[in-house]
Amino acid sequence: MDDELDAALAAHDELVSRRGVEVWVGAEPTFTRVDSHEPAWLGDAEGGDKLERAQRLADALTALTPGARTGRVLGRHFEGEAEPRFALGVRWSDARAVDVVGGKPPTFEELAGDHWATVTPDPGVVEVNLAPCGTAGALYTQSRRVWQAAEAAGLSPLRFRFNGEVADSGGGGQLSIGGSRPTASPFVRYPHVLPALVRYVNNHPSLSYWFASECTGSASQGPRPDEGTRERWDELGVALAWVESRADQGELAPEQLWAALAPLLVDGAGNTHRAELNIEKLWNPYLGQHGPRHGTMGLVEMRSVRMPERPGMLAALAALMRSVIARLAVSSYREPLVDWHDDLHDRFALPAALSRDLRFVLGDLDEHGLGLPAQLRRELEAWRAPGVTCRLGDAVLTIRPALEFWPLVGDVASQERATSRIVDASTARVELSLDGAGPERIAVAGRWAHLRALGDGVRAIGIRRRVFQPSPGFHPDLPVLDPLVIEWAWGGRTQRIELWAWSPDGGAYPAAPADAMDALARRNDRIRITTSSGDPAAFGHWPEARPFTIDLRRAPFVATT
């Protein structure tokens, strides 16, 4: 598989190179101890054996990287923490020797082959800041070494919950996009690209949600501009039109681009760091805590990205975004911003809707000669779980985890300085979808739910339910619905599907899953399927407050219709 991916990435890199567009990428994969429930591996930044594991990771990465060496470097010092956090640097070079990093400082060109990766702590994880790469192929090579080094240190990109569900490590996995030096960044070299990217991502919610973590929406670490305040969203269109007009006239300096968009690309509290498109290091003269150039690096970070399971998934995402940036650089994109309203958290919570939108993105890249090879498209598909398939004759019902938009508990300002924020994660959403033959309605918790057309022959509906009672959280006395019972009929046969959030036998699990096989066994045990003849015994229909989502939490308060 590595050889196939290497070849696919080489083909992609060649296509981007032919356009004459330089797009460098970096990432920040995070790893945890899957077997530990100590504070340092759940929510604390430091403590326990985290430094020891980080050192083992850095040493293993150094051993895997020709010419590399390891050393301690200055770590980040956060407000409220007595000392700077530890940081380990892994450095290697493929540049010519430079006689000074006594004489005058080396130029960016002289340092172009000097590479730095750092290993640092973050709440619950060890974070690896990859050295920026000029090609997706180089990013894949470096990522494979990092994943291998993490495994050698006993660290994992995944975590297993008590019920067997697979989650990412708990840290972020954002992508950084820029150039070999600040002035070579596509956002500096082509000032029209950043406003075009804002429009493109707005028009294609799959770029926001297909790669996102479980905590998505306004309370996430990378909310979209249209998930913030209404007034700020209204101003974004004005700002884009202004910077585009200046860019067309060749009069838009990078500091003007940053100053125009930075106040608008923020989260609900106005934090420029926690934004889907983070431009705090684009051309920010005030961000100099790590040196005078720290804020003027020409960088844009994509933060709506979870930690991927394997390096091929990360490389495929990097290739996708490099192609999008190159497409925006060589061809104008001025499509109007779309005000999605309820559709954003209703229709685009469904994997089927996101998959269709992602196909539109890939088709657009094909039309511009920047399409991705099949191997990379398969890696992109792997970012969302495939779910469970149930068959009755020629009909196939697919049940997949859908996105849920967990709200923040309390006000934003009171939690702004915390390392993590409290959300109500007590709801879960699944998608029921049919592609082709099958019924028009499905019985959910004893009432009928109508499937909605998404296009291309696919019909689907999203089902929300409460899976535990949170503390703290909303609706403290609202009961849990477990199991979720789904019944559907086709060709004279009926299937009854019971989806349990926790153990069907009741009670707590004795411990976390021992390994991936144990986790799989628990997930399989929580799905019960029986097939019989006849039709489902459903009464009435669920109210249709939103076209694509039925909220079962409202069941005690609505009459049967």
Q: Going by DSSP bridges, is the β-strand pair 484-490/458-466 parallel, antiparallel, or unpaired?
A: unpaired
Chain segment 321-379, per-residue pLDDT in tens: 999 999 999 999 999 999 999 999 999 999 999 999 999 999 999 999 999 999 999 99
pLDDT of residue 409: 87
CB atoms within 10 A of CB 343: 16
Is 70 exceeded by the pLDDT of residue 77?
A: yes
Please give the average per-residue pLDDT across 393-413, as a whole number.
90
Alpha-helical segments (H) within 308-411: 311-330, 351-367, 374-381
Identify which has the larger pLDDT, 109 or 233: 233
Give Cα 150 distance to the centre of its chain.
20
Identify which has the larger pLDDT, 418 or 189: 189
Alpha-helical segments (H) within 204-296: 206-209, 230-248, 254-261
Please give the radius of gyration of the chain, using alpha carbons only, rounded to the nearest integer.
Answer: 24
| Cβ burial 385-403 (10 Å sphere, 16+ → b, else e) | eebbebebeebbbbbbbbb
pLDDT of residue 320: 98
pLDDT of residue 99: 47
Chain segment 208-225, per-residue pLDDT in tens: 999 998 888 888 888 999
3-state secondary structure of 21: coil
Cross-strand bridge partners of residue 237:
none
Q: Of all helices (H) and strands (E), which one includes residue 465?
A: strand 458-466
Chain segment 177-200, per-residue pLDDT in tens: 999 999 999 999 999 999 999 999
Is 70 exceeded by the pLDDT of residue 442?
A: yes
Q: Could you tell me if 489 and 440 are in contact, meaning their C-beta atoms sit under 8 angstroms apart?
A: no
pLDDT of residue 98: 45
Give the residue among 452, 552, 543 at the shortest CA–CA distance from 501.
552
Instruction: Give the integer Cα–Cα distance in Å for 18 and 31.
Output: 36
Please give the average per-residue pLDDT across 442-469, as a whole number.
95
What are the tokens at 177? 């996009």
pLDDT of residue 447: 94
CB atoms within 10 A of CB 412: 15
Is 70 exceeded by the pLDDT of residue 111?
A: no
pTM for this model (two decimals): 0.93
Identify which has the larger pLDDT, 501 or 81: 501
Q: What's the per-residue H, E or C state across 371-399?
A: CCCHHHHHHHHCCCCCCEEEEECCEEEEE
Q: Could you tell me if 283 and 292 are in contact, meaning their C-beta atoms sit under 8 angstroms apart?
A: no
Is 90 exceeded by the pLDDT of residue 310?
A: yes
Is 70 exceeded by the pLDDT of residue 231?
A: yes
Number of H helices, E strands in the chain: 13, 22
Chain segment 16-34, per-residue pLDDT in tens: 999 999 999 999 999 999 9
Is 60 exceeded by the pLDDT of residue 95?
A: no
Confidence of residue 114 (pLDDT cuts 50, 70, 90): confident
Q: Could you tell me if 206 and 358 are in contact, meaning their C-beta atoms sit under 8 angstroms apart?
A: yes
Please give the average per-residue pLDDT across 74-91, as a whole number.
88
Please give the average per-residue pLDDT across 61-71, as a whole number.
94
pLDDT of residue 75: 86
* Sign of the four-CA dihedral 107, 109, 112, 118: positive
